[in-house]
Every structure is written in structure tokens, then in C-alpha cells.
Structure 1
Amino acid sequence: MATDINGFLPDSAFQLDVAAQDWKDAIRLAGQGLVNAGFTTDAYTDEMIETVEKMGPYIVIAPGLALAHSRPSDAVLETGLSWVRLSTPVKFGNEANDPVSLVIGLAGRDENEHVSVMSAIAGSLSDAEKTRKLAAAKSPEEIRAILNS
């Protein structure tokens, strides 16, 4: 993989096996991970929710997986990711890929960084074996090791 995920996904960006009431709550959790890691301000979380309200649940990119993001903005301090594994899946309104149990928050300072981090993560998540391992991983270290393998 061209982009090493480690710098973009620190321990503070993870929330494993947490509950969300609905899709907005799930995005708020992903947004909180981005804020905790110093990648964004709270305003970016609102922007991610507004994006889904305007554009629909296109962020649900594979069965069980949502890539929460918005356009680069002043609310993005640094390019990075957050990782939220839900204890109970929630519906985003995407018939083909609901319900969602993994929400990855993506913040890009500019289009190039946004796209390079997105490609790095998409490569791993398109591999069914890796996806299975990620669902069972117990720690941030284990998840990063799987993503980087």
C-alpha cells in the first residue's frame, strides 16, 4: 500500500464496540474520533451529517461499511481517519449495504490528501478476508497491522 495508514489513524481515533442510536449518532462517534485525534473541529462532524442529509446515504460504500466524510474545509486541521465499530449495526437508508457496523471517518485537508487516504483504506476494505479480520480485531494496533498488511 502506498500510504502508510499509521500516522492517519492514532489510538485516540478509535472507538470499538460502541452503541449508536441511529446513523447520525454513528457519524457523531466518527466525528468525535477525528476531534479526539486533533484532525478536525466539531464543525466537521456537522458537515459530515449535512452531506448525508443533502446527498443521501452514498457514504455506505460496501455491506456494513460507511465512509463518513465531507469536503475539505476550514474545520479540517489535518488529514486523518477515525474508526468506529458499532456493537449493534444501524441503518443509513442504503438498501444494498445496510445495516452498518463499521463507520470510518475521513477528513482531508485538500482533495489530493483526501483521495490518497481514501484509496489506501478502500484497498484494504475491498479484501473480504481483511474485512473479516478487521471485524474481529481487538485493538487499534491489530487493526492498523491488518490495514498495513
Structure 2
Amino acid sequence: MAGKVITLSPKAIQFKVPVQNWQEALYVTSKPLLNMGIIKKSYIDRMIASVNQYGPYIVIAPGIALGHARPGNDIRHTAIALATLDPAINFGNKINDPVDIVIILAASNNNDHLELLQKLVKFLNNSQNLAYLKSSSSDSDADCISRLINEGENYESI
């Protein structure tokens, strides 16, 4: 679709993923975007390097990490990937660890970055959306979550 920002494909959503550490959490959550050719591995490396340099600032709320790096030529177009983790893991953020939801934000430009952040904040600020996400496990759940975020809906409206 020309002119429409691609946000979250159901194919980029994973549930109850087991990982050993935060680096693996970022890599595994990003893997669908990598497999679809949306990002290059260097984007994942840049996200990890950023956390290594600045600390676990990507843990934005209790249990939620938002992996991202600046727009670059290793992002083909704007997209999001999402994974729930089981068990939750520590990123090193004393206030908001452990993390059980990881979101990867790959924005090809600053305008898309802001638009996606607005959609994510709206979704994450709704406790029913979060409860549904944490209990999800199927392809139909992935379709629903994709629609909730992309269309800016809330769980109670579907």
C-alpha cells in the first residue's frame, strides 16, 4: 500500500518465547523483521550496542522493553515486532525488571518513529490490551493484536 506506514504484521508477533538474556530477547524478537528483509542484522547489533553504551533505558515501563535505534540504511521500511517472554528476564533496570514484553521499533525516518510510538503508547496504556497480550498464544491472537495496534483500537472494542 503506497503511502501507508507498515506497522505490525501478525507474522512479526511471537508468544511465550524462552530466552537466556536481554541480548537474545532483542535478537529473537527482531528475527521476523530480519527474515522478512525489513531490517539487516546490523540494526539488531546497533540496538544492543546502544543498551551496552547507555544502560537499560529501553525498559520503558514495568515488564516492557522497547528495543530501537536511530533510523539508518539497515532498515528497509518502518515496522514493529513484538514478543512475549516466558519466563521473564532481567535487562538490568532495577525499577522495571523483569521484562516479559519486548517490542522492536524499526523506523526508517523520524516521522514514522513518532507515529509508531504514539500507536504503541495508546495500546500499552490500556490495561485490557496488556492483559490480552500476556495471555495470547495463537495465530488468531496475533491477528487481533496486530489490528489493535495498527488501527489504534482497544481490546474491549473488538
Q: Does the alignment reach a TM-score above 0.5?
A: yes
CA distance in 2, matches of 1:14, 1:129: 18
Q: Which residue of 1 aligns with 2:156?
A: none
Between the aligned residues of both structures, percent identity stands at: 32
CA distance in 2, matches of 1:31, 1:87: 17
Which segments of 5 or more consecutive residues in structure 2 lack a partner in the other structure? 154-158
Which moves more between the two structures, 92-101 or 32-41?
32-41
Q: Which residue of 1 aligns with 2:122?
A: 123
Shift of 1:95: 0.9
CA distance in 1, matches of 2:82, 2:16: 11
CA distance in 1, matches of 2:29, 2:14: 8
Q: Which residue of 2 aligns with 1:82?
A: 81
Q: Which residue of 1 aligns with 2:39?
A: 40
Shift of 1:131: 1.0
CA distance in 1, matches of 2:76, 2:120: 20
C-alpha contact 1:66 1:103 (8 A) present in aligned 2: yes
Which moves more between the two structures, 66-75 or 135-144?
135-144
C-alpha contact 1:92 1:100 (8 A) present in aligned 2: yes
CA distance in 2, matches of 1:111, 1:59: 18
TM-score by structure 1 length?
A: 0.90
Which moves more between the two structures, 32-41 or 72-81?
32-41
Asked if 1:142 corresponds to 2:141, the answer is no
- Measured on the aligned residues, the alpha-carbon RMSD in Å equals 1.6
Which segments of 5 or more consecutive residues in structure 1 lack a partner in the other structure? none
Shift of 1:55: 1.2
How many residue pairs end up in the alignment?
A: 145
CA distance in 2, matches of 1:62, 1:79: 23
What aligned pairs does 1:21-40 form with structure 2 within 5 A after superposition? 21-40=20-39
Shift of 1:38: 2.7
